[in-house]
A and B are shown apart, each in its own frame.
Chain A
Amino acid sequence: MRKYIINSIFMLSIMAVIFSCQNQETVDLQNYMSNGKDIYKSRCQNCHGENGEGLGELAPPLTDSVFLKTNKSRLACIIKNGINEPLIVHGKEYKEKMPAFPELADIDVAQVMVYITNSFGNNQGFVPYKQVSTQLQNCK
């Protein structure tokens, strides 16, 4: 009987550890999403719109999940350093220059990137700050 109880407590604690791990990521995601939204509002929304719809041919929409996925490793660099090359989004070419945001810290870039890639119909999950930081060090 005692063995049985000890075993079940052991199993329960392992399960609790697993669950709390998952929760930590969910908590992080929620955290990034809410901070990312604030950053998006103040830096990105002007051009890309409240719902990521873009602005004419001046600013591309942020709703092209395929584009976001294929350029996943570049997104952080684009957010921080801007971009001055034509991009094909939703099959349309966008040639306007995007300004740089050098004032954004790595964590800000990570949060706003997670927000964009998990809003406007995108659902690409969580990217931790450390990974974004490495990407930013290797910007071309």
Chain B
Amino acid sequence: MNKIISLIAICLLFVTILSSCQQEKKLPFYGERHTETIKDSSGADKIDTVYQTIPNWSFLNQDSVVTTNRATDGKVYIADFFFTSCTTICPTMHRNLMTVYNQFKTNPDVMFVSHTIDFKYDRPYVLKKYAQKLGVDGAKWQFLYGSKDSVYTLAEKNYLVAVGEDSTAKDGYIHQGYLVLIDKDRRIRGAYDGTKKDQVEQLKKDIPVLLAEYKK
């Protein structure tokens, strides 16, 4: 009898330990960070970590309308870099991203932003045609056109995606196929290889995790 009771007690102990260990999953932060001393509500000094954020931006979208960071402010969004005449990784990236788009189409807290790196050819009307042919309609997925300097700097310094012109490449440009997940406070919370199905699946799982952080 005693044996049974102690066995049950041990089991209960395990369950409590396990459940107390369970931590809510949180996505990591990417990029540079530094600490700042701030005063909390009681006036005491507190050290806080400040993460890298996406700066203000302003580009033309597929409807030739000036679009700024205000479009994505307060939203979780996925950014990527591509160009319409790309025959290598972009079609796969956007094929996979389409599945994410279709899944979160009705969620007002999620947006999609694709920057073209072909500043010569991909004018807004080219982007519009591309979006329509891909099967995207509306403002949820923005296709943005900007000067080489502004887009390339944003890609490399802020989204941490390598892009470049390369006359030896088949289509004239090279770039990484990352889908970058940005939180509502403009911090980088994930980077997924858009050409790999399993990583895109992970992105689909991570978006709700990120959204849940803001529900509290």
Contact = CB atoms under 8 A, between A and B. Distances in A.
Interface in A15-56: 45-47, 49, 55-56
A55 B134 contact: yes
A46 B133 contact: no
A49 B135 CA distance: 15
B130 interface: yes
Contacts of B133: 56-58, 96
A99 interface: yes
A44 to B, nearest CB: 10
B132 A59 contact: no
Contacts of A45: 92
Interface string B82-105: 000001111110110010000000
A56 B135 contact: yes
B134 A46 contact: no
Contact of B130 (A47, A49, A58): A58
A96 B87 CA distance: 11
B79 to A, nearest CB: 21
Nearest to A49: B95
B88 A46 contact: yes
A57 B132 CA distance: 8
A61 to B, nearest CB: 13
Nearest to B133: A57
Interface in B16-69: none
Output the residue of B89, B95, B135 with the most chain A CB within 10 A: B95
Contacts of A46: 87-92
Contacts of B91: 46-47, 55, 58-59
Interface in A48-81: 49, 55-59
Residue of B89, B91, B98 most packed against chain A (CB within 10 A): B91
A136 B137 CA distance: 40
A7 B94 CA distance: 67
Interface string A103-130: 0000000000000000000000000000
A45 B89 CA distance: 10
A47 B134 contact: no
A99 to B, nearest CB: 5
Interface in B116-135: 130, 132-135
18 contacts: A45-B92, A46-B88, A46-B89, A46-B90, A46-B92, A47-B87, A47-B91, A49-B95, A55-B91, A55-B134, A56-B133, A56-B134, A56-B135, A57-B135, A58-B91, A58-B133, A99-B87, A99-B170
Given A45-B92, A46-B87, A57-B133, 13 more contacts: A46-B89, A46-B92, A47-B87, A47-B91, A55-B95, A56-B98, A56-B134, A56-B135, A58-B91, A58-B133, A59-B91, A96-B133, A99-B170
